[in-house]
Amino acid sequence: MKQVTTMMCGSCANENAYKSIFLWYRQRERGADAGFTPEEMESCMLNQAPGSPPLCMLSFKGGFSRAHNGVLSTTRSKYLHKIDVPAFDWPVASFPAYKYPLEENKRENEAQDKKCLAEVEELIESQKKKGVPVAGIVVEPIQAEGGDNEASPEFFQQLQRIAKKNQVALLIDEVQTGGGPTGKMWCHEHFNLDSPPDIVTFSKKMQLGGYYLSPDFQPQLPYRVFNTWMGEPAKLLLLQGVVSVVKRDGLLALVRSSGERLRAGLLRLEREFPHLLGSTRGRGTFLAVSCPSAALRDDLVSRLRQRGVQTGGCGELSIRLRPALIFQEHHAEIFLDIFRQVLAATK
């Protein structure tokens, strides 16, 4: 991915990445050297075909693409983000729902992968028949807002192959996972994909929003992707400083070692308090654990906060952990000790 477009936030990064996918799709249909027809130019101003074509993005249940109107159509995590707001009738596929521990449920989890991938292929085909073809697939490496739901490298490898076979773009949304919290700069680096994704969006730890894209997705004309604020140069200077410190201090390796200590401690707490915790999961320090009920989850998050520890809820039942890249192994032990005290005091 040799091109980069900077934006102000994760929402406008995904929003304009979708636009780039639609432009790529139509340019391919139109032909590399073909211009716009008068009919296309007139009809787009009325939100009608052919200038405003019937295309769609395919997303996954539990996904969170942010909250602007276009990306809200591919957000499937919480009703509060979506209710009362008009949205596109775009297709949604199931995301794998794994059983834990992973090593003890390999067969069931492989079946989840196959079921969800088959659903993706069926939706691509059904959308073609409806006359509203899928131009792109948007997927998070870990569905953060939806509950820290993860999928296997094999799932993402097969998803990319399905996209390529059907000439559909693959957008990997790294707004929450990008910048190092999984122990690699980009979470999709864990997946050993056959080739880079077509587009990768980023924000949060990257100091500003934007997306990397392969040259085929670079618009051929100016102003096709255009905002008042196309990113901010001052934030690029901050990002330059962040990246230099990450490299200088070996922070990705630190995330991996601290994450192993944190994960091992969560698994110990699972064994000690099996009626309170389960399904420890994630990569690096980008971790989560589930509770039997939302009420218990919210109570634990509240009491941890009272002890000076900021965690958060995600999905229906999960507590998520999001330490900074400088989080060290002894910090993990401090957290685990406090968490154990809170769990021991739970009635």
Q: Which two tokens stand for residue 259?
A: 């994450």
Q: Is 128 in the active site? A: no
Pick the catalytic residue: 74, 75, 113, 173? 173
Q: Which two tokens stand for residue 336?
A: 């685990």
Long-range contacts from 265-268, C-beta under 8 angstroms, 24+ separation: 265/332, 265/333, 265/335, 265/336, 266/336, 268/336
Determine the Cα–Cα distance for residues 14 and 10; give it in Å rounded to an integer. Answer: 6
Determine the Cα–Cα distance for residues 174 and 214; give it in Å rounded to an integer. Answer: 16
Q: Is 346 in the active site? A: no
Pick the catalytic residue: 2, 84, 194, 228? 228
User: Contact 319/301 with Cβ under 8 angstroms?
Assistant: yes
Pick the catalytic residue: 184, 204, 235, 299? 204
Q: Which two tokens stand for residue 50?
A: 């052919």
Given 3-state DSSP classes, what are the helix, strand and coil percentages for the chain, each rounded to the nearest 5? 45, 15, 40
Give the residues across from 278 on adjacent strands.
290
Pick the catalytic residue: 22, 60, 64, 217? 64
User: Contact 217/3 with Cβ under 8 angstroms?
Assistant: yes
Q: Is 226 in the active site? A: no
Q: Is 228 in the active site? A: yes
Give the residues across from 209 on adjacent strands.
7
Radius of gyration of the chain (CA): 21
Q: Which two tokens stand for residue 182?
A: 């999984």
Return the closest-CA partner of residue 151 out of 282, 12, 250.
Answer: 282
Q: Which are the catalytic amino acids?
A: 64, 173, 204, 228
